[in-house]
Amino acid sequence: MRLKDKVAVITGASSGIGREAALLFAQEGAKIVAADVNDAEGEKTAAQINEANGKAVFVHADVSKSRDCENMIYTAEEIFGKLDILFNNAGIMHSEDDDAVSTEDDVWDLTMNVNLKGVFLGCKYGIPALRRAGGGSIINTASFVAIVGAATPQLAYTTSKGGVLAMTRELSVIHARENIRVNALCPGPLQTELLMKFLDTEEKKQRRLVHVPMGRFGKAKEMADAALFLASEESSYVTGTTFTVDGGLTAAYVTPE
């Protein structure tokens, strides 16, 4: 088992990448704190793990709230004794997110609070716990749009994910000698409820897919597999990376400097 005796906090664990990662990490031996604002689906994730003879608890957490983030880390240490892996995965893509002219202040603020501040708060409370455990792995979910921009306007989302990349790089440098690794997972376009709600017409879907060399949307399970590598000791010399899992999209558009 690649995560035997590890303890992981995973935000956004009620669906998509978060749920797939929680199930996979548990299969690989980790004890899971599944955190989300969606209590019913978050409880379902934890139940699936426990029914498969794994160990998991659900904790309600709005990652934009300091008290909730502090509590999810407290829960990991209180119930499972430590924290080894922090997967800051929770995020939103608002249906009214658009370009600079059309995006309203409240849409911008909500997106930043969840996607960017939520990662900051996870790290704020998670890093001291990782120190107490002697080190560990932080995985922050960013996005390919932070590297190349989005063909369909979603400025608040794109900007928030760019911030996640910058935060990840700085944290990786600051904490490298504490045996704390910090990496950004950058998914390409995925066949998830989050993205499909945003790309709500066939035209929008094709506008995104035309840029993907593999010609298909990725799967949440494929992102969970990538996160497993970053969580495990197999990536023990990997920190500060923009770990892109995107069907070749950025390779087709990004020129090395």
128-184, pLDDT tens digit by residue? 999 999 999 999 999 999 999 887 899 999 999 999 999 999 999 999 999 999 999
Secondary structure (3-state) at 243: strand
Domain-wise residue ranges, the chain: 7-188+219-243
Q: pLDDT at residue 71 above 90? A: yes
Token pair recorded at residue 58: 């659900």
The distance in angstroms from the start CA to the end CA of the chain is 39
- How do beta strands 85-88 and 56-60 pair? unpaired
pLDDT at 142: 98
Beta-bridge partners for 9: 33, 86
CB 140 within 8 A of CB 172: no
> Over pLDDT 90: what percentage of the chain?
85
Mean pLDDT of 44-49: 98
Q: pLDDT at residue 41 above 70? A: yes
Length of the chain (residues): 257
The greatest distance separating any two alpha carbons of the chain, rounded to the nearest whole angstrom, comes to: 51
Exposure string (b/e) for 192-215, b if CB count within 10 Å is 16 or more? beebeebbeeeeebeebbebbeee
> What are the residue ranges of helices labelled H in the chain?
16-27, 39-51, 66-80, 105-112, 118-132, 145-148, 155-175, 193-198, 202-209, 220-231, 249-253
Radius of gyration of the chain (CA): 17
Q: pLDDT at residue 256 above 70? A: no
Q: What CATH number does the domain located at 7-188+219-243 have?
A: 3.40.50.720
Confidence of residue 93 (pLDDT cuts 50, 70, 90): very high
pLDDT at 194: 74
187-213 pLDDT, tens digit each: 998 887 777 887 888 888 888 788 899
Exposure string (b/e) for 158-169, b if CB count within 10 Å is 16 or more? bbbbbbbbebbb
Confidence of residue 257 (pLDDT cuts 50, 70, 90): low
CA–CA gap between residue 98 and residue 136 (Å, rounded): 37
Confidence of residue 115 (pLDDT cuts 50, 70, 90): very high
* Number of CB atoms found within 10 A of residue 180's CB: 23
Q: Which residues are catalytic?
A: 157
pLDDT at 116: 98
Give, to the nearest 10 degrees, the angle between helix 105-112 and helix 155-175: 30
- How do beta strands 85-88 and 242-245 pair? unpaired
Token pair recorded at residue 127: 């890093």
CA–CA gap between residue 189 and residue 246 (Å, rounded): 7
3-state class percentages of the chain: helix first, strand second, coil last, to nearest 5: 50, 15, 35
